[in-house]
Amino acid sequence: MEKVRKSLGMKQGLIGTLVLLAACSPSDDGEVSFSDDGLEDAVQETAGTEGELTAEEVESIEHLEAVDAGITNIEGIESLNSLKTIDFRENAIEDFEPLLALDHLEEIHVGDVFFTEDIEQNNAIEEVMTKLEDDGVEIDARTRLAFPEHDGVSNGLFYEVTHDDQTVYLFGSIHVGDESLYPLRDEVESAFAESSSLSVEIDIDDINEMEASATMMNMGSFHNDDTLRNYVEDDTFEEISGYLSEFMIPAEYIEQFQPWFVSMLLNDWGREQTDLTGDEGIDQYFIDEANERDLEIISLETLESQLQTISSAPLDEQTDGLHATLDGLEIYEEEMEQMLNLWKKGDVDVFEHLRDNDDEHGTEMMDMRDEEMANQIVDYLESGSGESYFVVVGALHLAGDTSIPGLLEAEGYDVTFVE
């Protein structure tokens, strides 16, 4: 599965009419109260009072620190109309819309924002953050995943595509996993059993590890006077060196690496702190099964083409991604557990929403890869062989209008999402 970004995706959207409930209201004598006790306590502490708050006191507050204050509802914060900075880290706020009423806001630390199955709520948060960004507010936020555990067999994303007497099955993979991914549902296993070949992004078993490492090292290094130190602060470089020292990579080598390659190495470090392995990922599972049945295994891409896609990102986006990777290392295992929960359930709408939240370059590269793989699948559908083809690609390649099934459906092929 494609790596999901760990910095908050800010997408341009239409902001609905601002409706603020009267959760904070001045009384006839000028007193102000809040419906959320945590917020009221934080405002009282900032104002230096333990008694009733007055409109005059809250109107003069420019900086509000409310870390781990137990705040769930910020309605009424509009009364602090002089606020310039806010620190809301380690709270459980679900609705940030009241922030739009703060005309002088310059900076906000949101902390963790949870991406859930509630797409409407996800969209609402994104719209508010986008509006704040457009208004010049600096936002510090980290997107987390939060999905319920899935009971029973794993669903994944599964499609059947037909044309005349040809059938192609599309199954969305997660590239690393553990034994909890299995068993897979019967419809998937039955489709694979009747297929005459397996297509994957890359046949992992066909890769020479020494050659692959050399290719990655070459493509992941600067070949001029540029160095990683030009893109990260000294303390960040030292943090990176600390992690990668466990791979016996000296600092002078790390200096030569481009940010995307460092991100990849750090992700490898994060995975090694878990019980997840590529051997128990979905790709390897089907490759092993295909080898057992002596099926033809077809690679839809090459290692070089995948690396070219990743390495072509602008250096500023690579650097942003590197910082996000570093920020996410401490929660790597938790985030992967959440991703496994999502994959097992097979909620295509949530996968599509995740894909929509990629950055501009990531979206462009994903679309390009999907178009190239879809063209190869068209060849299967037009082959007239009467055989069934089983295709396994990362799950994000199977969600959205510009995904592989979306492109095939647009070309007039019969595409069915198997519930």
User: Which amino acid type is present at position 159?
Assistant: Y
Task: Specify the pLDDT at position 364.
Answer: 92
Per-position DSSP letters for 320-366, written without gaps between them: HHHHHHHHHGGGHHHHHHHHHHHHHHT-HHHHHHHHHTS-HHHHHHH
Average pLDDT over residues 175-190: 97
- Structural domain tally of the chain? 2
For residues 139 and 162, membership in a common domain is answered with: no
Task: Specify the pLDDT at position 311.
Answer: 93
For residues 324 and 379, membership in a common domain is answered with: yes
Per-residue tokens: 395: 């799950």
Q: Is residue 7 in some structural domain?
A: no
Express each pLDDT in 352-372 by its tens digit.
Answer: 999 998 888 889 999 999 999
Express each pLDDT in 281-307 by its tens digit.
Answer: 999 999 999 999 999 999 999 999 999
**Phi–psi pair at 66, nearest 5 degrees:** -135, 55
Task: Specify the pLDDT at position 368.
Answer: 95
Is the confidence at residue 5, as pLDDT, over 60? no
Q: Is residue 251 in some structural domain?
A: no
Is the confidence at residue 29, as pLDDT, over 60? no
Q: Is residue 244 in some structural domain?
A: no
For residues 164 and 110, membership in a common domain is answered with: no
| H helix or E strand, kind and range, residue 141 | strand 138-145
Of 94, 116, 145, which residue sits at a domain end? 145
For residues 68 and 204, membership in a common domain is answered with: no
Q: Is residue 22 in some structural domain?
A: no
Is the confidence at residue 24, as pLDDT, over 50? no
Task: Specify the pLDDT at position 362.
Answer: 87
For residues 389 and 279, membership in a common domain is answered with: yes
Of 145, 167, 186, which residue sits at a domain end? 145
Round to whole Å and give the CA distance between 191 and 392: 12
For residues 178 and 78, membership in a common domain is answered with: no
For residues 271 and 390, membership in a common domain is answered with: yes
What domain range is 277 assigned to? 158-210+263-417
Is the confidence at residue 55, as pLDDT, over 90? no
